[in-house]
Structure 1
Amino acid sequence: MERKLFIKRMALMAILPSVFIAACSNEKKPEAGAVKAKQQTFTCPMHPQIIKHEMGTCPICGMDLVPFEKNSDDKALKVDTKRQALANITTIMIGENILSGGKELNGRLTVNPEQSSYISSRIAGRIEQLYVRETGVKVNKGQPLYKLYSEQLATLQQEYLMAVAQEKQFQGDKIERQIVASAKQKLLLYGQSESQVQQLVKTQKKDPYVVFYAAESGVVAELSVTQGQYVTEGNPILRLEGYGQLWVEADVYSSEAAKIKQGQKVRVVVAGWEDQPQEMTISFITPSLQSGTQLTQIRGSIPNPGNQWQPGLQANVFLPLGNKSKMLTLPVDAVIRDGKGMHVWIKTGKDSFEPRLVKTGTENDNQVEISEGLTNGDQVVVTGAYLLYSEYILKKGKNPVEGLK
């Protein structure tokens, strides 16, 4: 009996693997050609360069990540009516208008390099005495700046005394006179004054110390040495800045710069001194754009009597504009400007908005001319444009003007 039970168990164990294999083979296989679901990506609202494939937080600011359309090529942005009302998105139909008035540019006062003096060591030696030891100090012309000890200077003085003595022995000799003149010229070039040279001949005593004086009045803007320091010939000592005349630099878009000419008269108002407008002649227009912007600079100079203004103060430059008619214009805030260009938002449907590259022309405080990119009758967003710009970057993770022509 036990033998029969053992045989039955062995037979059952032999059958079980076959049954298991058959069951596995009957499992449902994925259909051929099935499309893998698109993987959702997430980004940070404040740092769109952060891209992850799962929900989480931004490693930079800690904000929760939000989903966005990473690979979408659709330039349209969908914003429903309710959200348009909340964001105060309004549009106007662009048309031809008359543009008049003047253009106000943001500017600033800067130092005029032509009013600066650079003082360097004329001879190698040690700074024995430094009479000016801090920046911001006013220096008058003829004021002593520093005293230098120089063995080289003492050698030159000895050469001069010997040349003078030699000339006395051979009075009237032309060559001796030339040697004396040459030795004296060296002393003058190395910082000795005429009175010091005469005193040297009178006392017949070498003096290795020489005091250097300010050739111009100004304010100490930079001090490059300390007392007791050894300097070489040509070593920078200090820099003086004169504020009697200041530059005015103002930023201007390249499209506007084409309409500005050198020699043009403009009005300048320094912030805080609105009752003292200045007339300035534009003397220079920078030929290249500032790095990463669409801005260039114009420059001129204004007098600064009594040094009442300091470099760094804000100044507004007013460009006169003649009346121009038959041009497409928009409110200034409708045009978004960044390092990649200028663009506006066009309403293409009830809930659809698209970016459009534009070029601008004449501009005043309120209106700007649209020279390229739009046609008469386009529905252009005039309020809420920056919200659409931010929403586009948030959802699509890229600048809306990328790929536009």
Structure 2
Amino acid sequence: MKRKDFIKWTGLAVLSPLAVLESCKPKADKAAAAVAVTTYTCPMHPQIVQNKMGTCPVCGMDLVVFDKNNKEASLTLSKEQQLLANVTTVVIGAGSMDNITRLNGRLVVNPSNTVYVSSRVAGRIESLSVKETGALVQKGQLLYRIYAEQLLALQKEYRLAVAQAKQFPADRRFQEIEAAARKKLLLYGQTPAQVTQLISTEQDNPYVYYYAPATGVVAELTVSEGQYVAEGSPILKLEDYGQLWVEADLYPGEASTISKGQTVQVVIAGNEAEKYAMKVEFLEPALQAGTQLLTVRGTIKNTNRQFQPGMPVQVLLNKGSVSDLLQLPLAAVIRDGQSAHVWVQSAAEKFEPREVKIGLENAEMVTILEGLDEGEKVVISGAYLLYSEYILKKGKHPIHS
């Protein structure tokens, strides 16, 4: 019996270490597997992913561990990495800001400066001095010459009336006929000088000359040389671009913030460095067809004709100013449809995302109502790079995880 007990305990003593070794194998294998799947990436080029340490083939920086399981809500960038990423910060502070609403608009031709030229007589266009649209025409410049058979008949009638009046100077009836014939020529568009020349030369001239009634640009040309036109037929349209309308779109809820006679600033696309003063001349009383917008209109000078109708503009509607609010450049705030956040430098090489509530904003700055304290360092350049790198490295949104 003692022999059997001895064999039993001897067997257990031999097998126990083996069992312990076997139980340790899975843990060792898991640890080895974890080491095997560790990957590395470049802080500046997260598309570079390798399963071993090394340098980035793009920028030459040392690769870092690619760990999406890191729960720390921050990013660490060395000074060299910050320089390469162009990450700059500013200490947030309070200040004043103009409360400006920007209205989208456009430049439009002022119809009061548009002149339509039509034929006052029927005939054939003998010659055109202006043959293409876009040409600049000066007031008094010859536009076209038209052959009019009716003018020829009126000239003959007048010369005959003049001859009869001279032959019978005492007959009042012939004097009245001569005066009526002369008036017909004047009403037909002949000048007194042309009528006088007709008598002195005794030669009929069946051509009617038309001159530009105003300075402008030919916007439409509806005839060509040799074409027959009826009385009243349109010939061309002249538009003066020396003054242009500015028409801007306004929502009905904003109508109370603007009034007729108010002076606003206009910024024209391509010339954003300069602002032009404009007085509001018209507020549309009804909504535009098919929209929920009203039209605001004013006039600006275009003396050098550097602006063209159709150019987009912005009308700056100043609603006053506010003060003692925290401000940041617009580029510092990231808006992704869910929230707005900024990146705060909490240490020399550490950056944390911070959700903020924004208030008023203009073309350059935005006010911060909640989420930041005066004196904190906020990233103003490179914020979108930090946002993208956080998502790539952590696999989640900086704010909404």
1:236 & 1:208 partners in 2: Cα distance? Answer: 21
Q: CA deviation at 1:116?
A: 1.2
Could you tell me the TM-score, scaled by structure 1's length? 0.53
Structure 2 residue aligned with 1:157: 155
Structure 1 residue aligned with 2:318: 320
1:114 & 1:255 partners in 2: Cα distance? Answer: 30
Percent identity reads 53
**Compared CA separation, residues 175 and 260, structure 1 to 2 (3 A):** farther
Structure 1 residue aligned with 2:185: 187
Q: Structure 2: which 5+ residue stretches go unaligned? A: 1-95, 324-337, 339-359, 367-401
Q: CA deviation at 1:249?
A: 0.7
2:267 & 2:291 partners in 1: Cα distance? Answer: 25
Could you tell me the TM-score, scaled by structure 2's length? 0.54
Structure 2 residue aligned with 1:237: 235
Q: Indicate conservation of the 8 Å contact 1:262/1:284, yes or no.
A: yes
The 5-angstrom pairing of residues 305-384 of structure 1 reads 305-322=303-320, 365=362
Q: CA deviation at 1:191?
A: 2.5
User: What letter is aligned with 1:131?
Assistant: S
1:138 & 1:171 partners in 2: Cα distance? Answer: 50
Structure 2 residue 280 is the aligned partner of structure 1 residue 282: yes
**Compared CA separation, residues 289 and 99, structure 1 to 2 (3 A):** farther
Of the three residues 139, 145, 150, the one matched with 1:141 is: 139
Offset from partner CA, 1:244-275 (integer Å, 9 cap, x none): 11111111111212332211111112122234
Structure 1 residue aligned with 2:257: 259
**Compared CA separation, residues 161 and 263, structure 1 to 2 (3 A):** same
**Compared CA separation, residues 173 and 298, structure 1 to 2 (3 A):** farther
Q: How many residues align?
A: 235
Q: Indicate conservation of the 8 Å contact 1:268/1:278, yes or no.
A: yes
1:134 & 1:224 partners in 2: Cα distance? Answer: 10
Secondary structure of 1:318 counterpart? strand
Secondary structure of 1:291 counterpart? coil
Secondary structure of 1:284 counterpart? strand
Of the three residues 200, 220, 223, the one matched with 2:221 is: 223
Q: CA deviation at 1:228?
A: 1.2
Q: Indicate conservation of the 8 Å contact 1:104/1:364, yes or no.
A: no
1:179 & 1:258 partners in 2: Cα distance? Answer: 67
Structure 2 residue aligned with 1:101: 99
Structure 1 residue aligned with 2:165: 167
Offset from partner CA, 1:314-344 (integer Å, 9 cap, x none): 221111214699xxxxxxxxxxxxxxxxxxx
Offset from partner CA, 1:6-44 (integer Å, 9 cap, x none): xxxxxxxxxxxxxxxxxxxxxxxxxxxxxxxxxxxxxxx
Q: Indicate conservation of the 8 Å contact 1:187/1:197, yes or no.
A: yes
1:154 & 1:128 partners in 2: Cα distance? Answer: 15
Secondary structure of 1:226 counterpart? coil
Q: CA deviation at 1:185?
A: 3.0
**Compared CA separation, residues 269 and 119, structure 1 to 2 (3 A):** same
Structure 1 residue aligned with 2:381: none
Secondary structure of 1:162 counterpart? helix
Q: Indicate conservation of the 8 Å contact 1:251/1:298, yes or no.
A: yes
Bigger Rg, structure 1 or 2: 2
Q: CA deviation at 1:173?
A: 6.2
Moved over 3 A (4+): 169-182, 322-325, 363-367
Structure 2 residue aligned with 1:270: 268
Of the three residues 111, 126, 130, the one matched with 2:124 is: 126
Offset from partner CA, 1:46-90 (integer Å, 9 cap, x none): xxxxxxxxxxxxxxxxxxxxxxxxxxxxxxxxxxxxxxxxxxxxx
**Compared CA separation, residues 263 and 174, structure 1 to 2 (3 A):** farther
> Alignment RMSD, CA only?
2.8
Offset from partner CA, 1:130-162 (integer Å, 9 cap, x none): 221111111112221111111111111122222
**Compared CA separation, residues 297 and 171, structure 1 to 2 (3 A):** same
**Compared CA separation, residues 276 and 162, structure 1 to 2 (3 A):** farther
Secondary structure of 2:154 counterpart? helix
Structure 1 residue aligned with 2:293: 295
Secondary structure of 1:157 counterpart? helix
Structure 2 residue aligned with 1:379: none
Offset from partner CA, 1:143-184 (integer Å, 9 cap, x none): 211111111111111222223223323447666555434333
2:225 & 2:173 partners in 1: Cα distance? Answer: 42
Structure 2 residue aligned with 1:110: 108
User: What letter is aligned with 2:114?
Assistant: S
